[in-house]
Amino acid sequence: MLPFDDINYQDNIRLKYATKGKVRNLYSLSFIDSTNVLKESYNQYLVLEQSDRCSAFDYSICEIDNKGYFLTQIAAFWFDYTRHIIENHYINHRYNVMLVKKYRPIKLEFIARGHITGSCWRGYKDGVFNISGETLPLGLTQNQRFTHKFPIITPTTKGEHDEPITPVEIVNQNYLTEEQLEFIYEIVSKLFNAGYKKCLENHIIMADTKYEFGFDNNGSIVLIDEIHTPDSSRFWCLNSFYESQKKMDFSQLDNLDKDVIRNYLVSQGFPKTTKAIPPIPDSVVETFKSKYFSITKRLLDIEESTLINDMNDYYTQKHKDISVSENGLMKKLDEQDIGCFNHNYFNKDTKFVVVVAGSRSDKQHTDKMLNILKDRKIMGGTLFMSAHKETQKVIDYIKYIDTNFNNVLWVTMAGMSNALSGVVSANSKFPTIGYPVSKNQTDLMLNMNATLQMPSNVPVMTILSLENIGLACQRIFNLLN
């Protein structure tokens, strides 16, 4: 992942509704520059909005608050965690929205099964010992871990209703070559084993999951869609599984996945005996939400209070009165502060301003600075980091900017000792404009000296007016034309 978790660029990125899946809305991207010329190169990205829709048995069942938020956090974690195994499409995320690279999807799903459960177990009980070309041994018991092969991989077609398909059929029907299929099977096995081991460390069993892949422009295979989420996987609490296995009674198995909904639907005869989707009781919905919260907290190893605060921020943004047109711009993304992704669209010669503030309490100043830059048609964005408390993070950002771009200006905002301006200026090849943050005129007289009095070879230009900073940035960029 690029090191811009907190950057918020304000530019002319446009998001256009593309399509709607079972649980996700997909948006394409375009970019209009100051001459109103469409830059086609920015079409290599997509925005995935993970909705709160809940699906089961290939049907859309209901909506559950915060479901999309949980799935996005978990998928982002796993995309980062497994990138050493295979490249994937993930770039960044915020709340329930993820920016990804656009790849040509392979119209198959690869289900990795570590335990015999779900549809695999139901078929096995009925005497079906071969699934998608994979022969299962005799004598298996419900939810048992496979020992003859781990995991078992069972591909399906990807469509309105997924159908099992054998490896031979995949090759014969020109989905993949034998070499490509062999590569995917190897990667699926590595991904599953890595996920299984990580889950065990958190006292969770990942019984099964599914993976999807695509091709990049060079024909290489990459991981897409989602990974190891409770929507696409079965997660069981480890102790509960062992206790249930001893009794050979899994009716009280504590799971942390979508089986909460699946199990209720089955108890109501859906979809086997009735095609009418039964309403989901509030008690089932609340259980579902608590389980998704629990696995998000455990997998991400995040403090409960931190997770709750971020969820509250998401809830506030989500419930604003926002008009979203499926055929036009997705204004909700702007309201959710999703502009943080846009640095990924810039090429090396793009002119832009990085506004760095030492604390989020300075956001009123950074927002005003962004608006001034926007009025002058200057691309810019903010990030928050403290030179005192997060020195290495500051250095990492500076190195990233210096390595990847040619035309950048820094605007640093900090009060009191203002180490931020000095650290940025001393370590970057680009000009630094320092703005001493202050509460009032008296505070300004105290703070500005820390910005003015820099040591040798640390050329911080101190400007006390945000409007003048905007004008200075414009004049500096004009010299580059």
pLDDT tens-digit series, residues 99-122: 888 999 999 999 999 999 988 999
d(CA 303, CA 297): 7
Q: Any idea where the domains of the chain sit in the sequence?
A: 346-478
CA distance 90 to 78: 10
pLDDT for 344 equals 45
Half-sphere exposure (CA, 13 Å, Cβ side) for 327?
0
Instruction: Copy the structure tokens of residue 184.
Output: 């995917």
Average pLDDT of the residues in 449-476? 89
Residue 223 has pLDDT above 90, yes or no: yes
How much is the pLDDT for 343? 47
pLDDT for residue 139 is more than 60? yes
432-436 vs 460-462, strand pairing mode: parallel
Distance from C-alpha of 474 to C-alpha of 64, rounded to nearest angstrom = 47
pLDDT band at 131 (very low <50, low <70, confident <90, very high): confident
CA torsion sign for 224, 229, 230, 233 is: positive
User: Quick one: average pLDDT of 64-83?
Assistant: 94
Whether the full predicted model's pTM is greater than 0.85, yes or no, is: no
The residue-averaged pLDDT of 181-201 equals 97
> How many other C-beta atoms lie within 10 A of the C-beta of residue 13?
20
Nearest CA-CA partner of 198 in 206, 209, 187: 206
- Compute how many other C-beta atoms are within 10 angstroms of the C-beta atom of residue 136: 19
User: Is the predicted pLDDT of residue 393 greater than 90, yes or no?
Assistant: no
3-state helix, strand, coil in the chain (%, to 5): 40, 25, 35
Taking residues 268-289, report their average pLDDT. Answer: 90
Lowest mean pLDDT among 154-158, 368-372, 403-407, 445-449: 445-449
342 pLDDT band, cuts 50/70/90, is very low
The yes-or-no verdict on residue 318 having pLDDT over 70 is no
Task: Supply the pLDDT for residue 346.
Answer: 56
Pure H helices in 253-350: 259-267, 282-300, 304-318, 331-335
Which pair of structure tokens corresponds to residue 16? 């256009």
| pLDDT at residue 13 greater than cutoff 60 | no
Question: What does the pLDDT read at residue 202?
Answer: 94
CATH for 346-478 is 3.40.50.1970
* Calpha distance 380→342 (Å, rounded): 10
The pLDDT assigned to 469 comes to 95
